[in-house]
A and B are shown apart, each in its own frame.
Chain A
């Protein structure tokens, strides 16, 4: 509450200017490769996204600031932010944005970049969870809640194993938490299938055969 009352606080005061040299002017156009991502250039900074966001109160930068920072090229701040991992993908911002900016998709895009560049917060559960989840699906094709949780606790905060033991026990007793590992019939084929998506688009793919929807979907 007393920002300059403690030695630590005033020692940590630093220049917060954003010098152009430290910004990445191409950052916004990288995001623009996400379908609809180019719309972030149209943002009018009205803050609707922040106000409808159930988690914005817990973010280091509000969604509106994330858009502004992305546009300005604050690559390091954006990709290193907690905000992208605090998002719960509830799509409120996407639906409410008066400029129809697909903010949730942009958040997902930023997450992918953060993972690729290996700069997500190490012990924060969301990215760790996402990766544990992805590993499990790649291996088995289906997830098992119990094992996901155990893996996650071990990687982030083993104390949760103890803390959540009581509720886990109650669930087990009611048949809602099993430890049998679920799987698709041929995990190898699924793995190959996922790997195949990394190949550039084939000339003739099943997409060409996609028909128009027979009924209008709202």
Chain B
């Protein structure tokens, strides 16, 4: 299986471990990701705040590049690992397919740089690929170090299922839960799977400094509820959510006087551990908090090693 890959800007920074672990596990599962050549920023949610047409144009250029770099008539699957980019690319795809003034203006601009968007691209998310293309059964067959004894709360965030619930349930997505279960972990059933963490795509987040009290509380609400339901760790699939929940956990603990101590990693990292990959390949050395602090979990994680 071969996919076009759109890393997105955060892949080069805070989300590095996500990209590394994604590549690592897909390698094991015989999936090839070919990075889109000369990709540009998706527009995030900052661009729609300033110029709605250019926001679509930025993502449409990436989709058009994917088509140009994959000759033929076959559908082109573009994997986008960042949830923010995923939404932006989906939106561009929809806008271009539906037609209308925005689509026409963007189409004209694409023409001017010798590109076009035919609409044969399908925007995919790694969870979508793992669950629907690779298959949970094939993944569990490759698990060598099951994460037994580990309870994970899967946090999907906003933009993975909203507004486009393309591959999972809009209220109760389960794809990540199925992967974590395949990895041998237990997954928590909780109602905040898709509640906003506050770190959303450059619009808030304590790092940015917009309403730190509010955004911190949103993240804390998530972690507190995960902990209340017995989670040892929170798995995410968005670089922004992950950084938000991990980087500011100390501050949450201080501000709300509550000991959380939750490992917050990428689902791909947890899966990678179960597939027997070493920590460095999975970028675990880049994390600020990780599992081995918990002896019981560490035992489980190393049981098969």
Contacts and interface: CB of A to CB of B under 8 A. Distances in A.
Direct contact of A and B (CB under 8 A): yes
Interface string B197-218: 0101111100111110010001
B72 to A, nearest CB: 13
Given A199-B105, A210-B118, A218-B166, A176 B50 contact: no
Interface size class of A (residues with CB under 8 A): 35 or more
Contact of A184 (B38, B49, B201, B247): B38
B156 to A, nearest CB: 12
Nearest to B56: A197
Interface stretch (A11-19, A21-29, A71-79, A156-164): A156-164
B111 interface: yes
A58 B9 contact: no
- Considering residues A88, A184, A198, which has the most beta carbons from chain B within 10 angstroms of its beta carbon? A88
Contacts of A115: 49-50
B107 A205 contact: yes
Interface stretch (A2-10, A43-51, A61-69, A167-175): A167-175
Interface stretch (B92-100, B178-186, B227-235, B265-273): B92-100
Interface stretch (B10-18, B27-35, B134-142): B10-18
Contact of B119 (A87, A108, A170, A210): A210
A127 B57 contact: no
B96 A210 contact: yes
A152 interface: yes
A174 B285 contact: yes
Contacts of A86: 204, 210-211, 214
Interface in A67-105: 85-92, 94-95, 102, 104-105
Interface string A178-206: 10001011000110111011111110011
Contacts of A177: 13-14
Nearest to B14: A176
B117 interface: yes
Nearest to B37: A185
Given A90-B159, A137-B41, A200-B105, A205 B111 contact: yes
B108 interface: yes
Contact of B209 (A54, A153, A192): A153
A28 B210 CA distance: 29
A88 B116 contact: no
Contacts of A156: 209
Contacts of A137: 40-41, 43, 47, 58
Interface size class of B (residues with CB under 8 A): 35 or more
Given A90-B200, A193-B61, A197-B105, A133 B99 contact: no
B209 A89 contact: no
A131 B107 CA distance: 25
A198 B108 CA distance: 10
B224 interface: no
B75 interface: yes
B241 to A, nearest CB: 11
A178 B111 CA distance: 35
Nearest to A189: B113
A214 B13 contact: no
B165 interface: yes
Contact of B99 (A54, A199, A210): A210
A96 B100 CA distance: 25
Contacts of B50: 111-112, 115, 130-131, 134
Given A134-B50, A142-B40, A190-B40, A217 B166 contact: yes
Nearest to A152: B208
Contact of B49 (A130, A178, A208): A130
A212 B96 CA distance: 11
18 contacts: A88-B200, A88-B204, A89-B45, A91-B159, A125-B209, A129-B210, A133-B47, A145-B9, A174-B287, A185-B38, A190-B61, A193-B110, A196-B112, A205-B110, A205-B111, A207-B99, A209-B118, A211-B118
Interface of B: 9-10, 12-14, 16-17, 38-41, 43-54, 57-58, 61, 64, 75, 87, 96-97, 99-113, 115-120, 122, 158-159, 162-167, 170, 195-196, 198, 200-204, 207-211, 214, 218, 247-248, 285-288
Given A55-B196, A193-B109, 18 more contacts: A54-B195, A90-B200, A111-B48, A112-B48, A112-B51, A127-B49, A130-B50, A133-B46, A184-B39, A192-B112, A196-B109, A197-B109, A205-B110, A206-B110, A207-B104, A208-B107, A210-B97, A217-B166
